[in-house]
């Protein structure tokens, strides 16, 4: 077991180095590694825990290391930073890992490829000191709430400051706490190939416990600790892994069999595939994206899920009408955004997104929405969605569009949200991890007038 654990620690250092150095996404790297490597369940669980744990708690770990070492972790080489953080995470958060194992494996990694004796000496000194003092190093009580919560919950101060001003300390703390917990894995049943009871029964037979989603009738939440991303149900296209927040955007769009639908920013195709199931695979879905890689993933997802009515196309939502001559009955704009509503799934985002990105992305979102709206037929529907907690990307974009596009009026379909999300007084809906238990989303639906 010790050798297997050492392998998981070394892999975690490799993945974390790529995440920080290359701006890669941890979820994609982790999925690829787990698919490629013959890791047993314990190794896979430890690798997952170390990778996401270090990303979630990076600021707190760096504070601990700097407190015992009196030097800035940010000034160290990127790989050495990950070696130290992986060691510190085990000492601080994993009681089941002996301190000597965490220290010795960090020292071995520091001597390994790309390292040297100087790294090993520093790792040994810092982590031994931390092991000796870890019980006497609580996060300090600071008078300034922003500094205190940013350190206690390992979030950038600018984001904590915004949430304190917007929600107050109690709710901001609840949101920060939610971000520090692993996101539940949610399976959406592909009604083209299966139904929820049969899927739940098959998972139960394989030892995977699920609960019905409180937000969507065809969604199952997998109990914590179970891994299903490589389950045969996924490979067979009977389920798709998809957060309920993203699926709610499709529910708000409510595409009908036989319609022409435009997915204006399709990405990897999860929502287009979900639309196909909702439409009974009857109609037409034009899925636009500027990224060739995204379109390739979209095609693979549609093949796996049996979605034959999806047409992946290279295109920009700002010129959407070119790709659907005659217009579309329904248009979804799930716009590129900061992703700040997905910090449970993608904790690295908090360390990449500066506050200035909000204004930059909001300008792009307004342009994408305005362009996609031109593809909506008279009498058709338009849905705007972003996986961001911030109003600049949500409410403000919706308000700007509503003020300029007089032909469109907000519409709330009958039965939505049915308790699934929060209705906003200014229009649209929101979900938050600490309220609804899904990713943080904003979405709104309009209907275009007949004239």
pLDDT one-digit tens code per residue, 232-279: 999 999 999 999 999 999 999 999 999 999 999 998 889 999 999 999
Q: What are phi and psi of 202, to 5 degrees?
A: -65, -40
With a threshold of 0.75, does the pTM exceed it?
A: yes
Q: Which domains can be identified in the chain, with CATH numbers?
A: 2-136 (1.10.940.10), 146-179 (no CATH), 186-241 (3.30.70.1170), 244-448 (3.40.50.150)
Percent of the chain at pLDDT exceeding 90: 81
Strand ranges inside 338-421, DSSP E = 376-386, 408-410
pLDDT at residue 6, rounded to an integer: 58
- The model's pLDDT over 413-426, given as tens digits with 9 standing for 90+, comes to 888 876 778 899 99
| CB-count burial class (<10 Å; 0-12, 13-18, 19+) for 171 | middle
On average, the pLDDT of the chain sits at: 92
Q: pLDDT tens-digit profile of 336-349?
A: 999 999 999 999 99
- Amino acid 153: pLDDT: 97
pLDDT at 1: 42
The mean per-residue pLDDT over the stretch 356-379 comes to: 97
Q: pLDDT-derived band of residue 2, with 50, 70 and 90 as boundaries?
A: very low
Catalytic residue numbers? 387
pLDDT of residue 248: 95
pLDDT-above-70 percentage for the chain: 98
CA distance 124 to 431: 45
CB 433 within 8 A of CB 344: yes
Structure tokens that stand for 236 in this block = 């067979």
Instruction: State the Cα–Cα distance between residues 434 and 421, nearest whole angstrom.
Output: 12
The total number of residues shown for the chain amounts to 451
Which has the closest alpha carbon to 448: 401, 397, 416, 414? 401
């Amino acid at each position: 077991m010790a050798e297997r654990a050492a392998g998981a620690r070394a892999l975690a250092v490799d993945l974390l180095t790529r995440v920080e150095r290359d701006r890669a996404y941890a979820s994609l790297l982790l999925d690829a590694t787990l698919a490629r490597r013959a890791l047993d369940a314990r190794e896979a669980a430890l690798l997952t825990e170390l990778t996401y744990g270090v990303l979630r708690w990076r600021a707190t770990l760096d504070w601990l290391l700097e407190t015992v070492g009196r030097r800035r972790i940010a000034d160290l080489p990127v790989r050495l930073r990950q070696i130290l953080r992986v060691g510190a995470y085990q000492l601080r958060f994993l009681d089941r890992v002996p301190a000597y194992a965490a220290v010795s494996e960090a020292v071995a990694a520091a001597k390994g490829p790309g390292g040297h004796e100087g790294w090993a000496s520093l790792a040994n000194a810092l982590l031994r000191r931390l092991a000796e003092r870890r019980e006497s190093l609580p996060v300090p009580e600071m008078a300034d709430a922003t500094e205190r919560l940013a350190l206690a919950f390992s979030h950038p101060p600018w984001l904590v400051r915004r949430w304190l001003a917007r929600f107050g300390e109690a709710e901001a703390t609840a949101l920060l706490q939610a971000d520090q917990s692993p996101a539940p894995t949610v399976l959406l049943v592909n009604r083209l190939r299966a139904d929820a009871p049969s899927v739940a029964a098959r998972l139960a037979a394989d030892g995977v416990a699920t609960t019905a989603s409180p937000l969507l009738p065809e969604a199952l939440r997998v109990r914590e600790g179970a891994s299903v991303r490589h389950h045969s149900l996924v490979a067979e296209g009977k389920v798709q892994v998809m957060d309920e927040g993203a699926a709610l955007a499709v529910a708000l769009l409510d595409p009908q069999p036989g319609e022409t639908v435009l997915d204006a920013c399709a990405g990897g195709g999860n929502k287009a595939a979900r639309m196909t199931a909702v439409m009974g695979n009857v109609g037409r879905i034009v899925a636009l994206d500027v990224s060739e890689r995204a379109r390739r993933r979209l095609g693979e997802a549609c093949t796996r899920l049996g979605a034959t009515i999806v047409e992946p196309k290279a295109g920009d939502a700002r010129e959407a009408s070119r790709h659907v001559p005659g217009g579309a009955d329904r248009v979804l704009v799930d716009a590129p955004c900061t992703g700040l509503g997905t910090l449970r799934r993608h904790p690295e985002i908090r360390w990449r997104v500066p506050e200035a990105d909000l204004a930059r992305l909001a300008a792009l979102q307004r342009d994408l929405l305005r362009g996609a709206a031109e593809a909506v037929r008279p009498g058709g529907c338009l849905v705007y969605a972003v996986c961001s907690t911030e109003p600049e990307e949500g409410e403000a974009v919706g308000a700007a569009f509503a003020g300029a596009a007089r032909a469109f009026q907000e519409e709330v379909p009958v039965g939505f949200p049915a308790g699934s999300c929060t209705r906003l007084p200014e229009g649209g809906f929101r979900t938050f991890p600490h309220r609804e238990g899904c990713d943080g989303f904003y979405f709104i639906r309009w209907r275009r007038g007949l004239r």
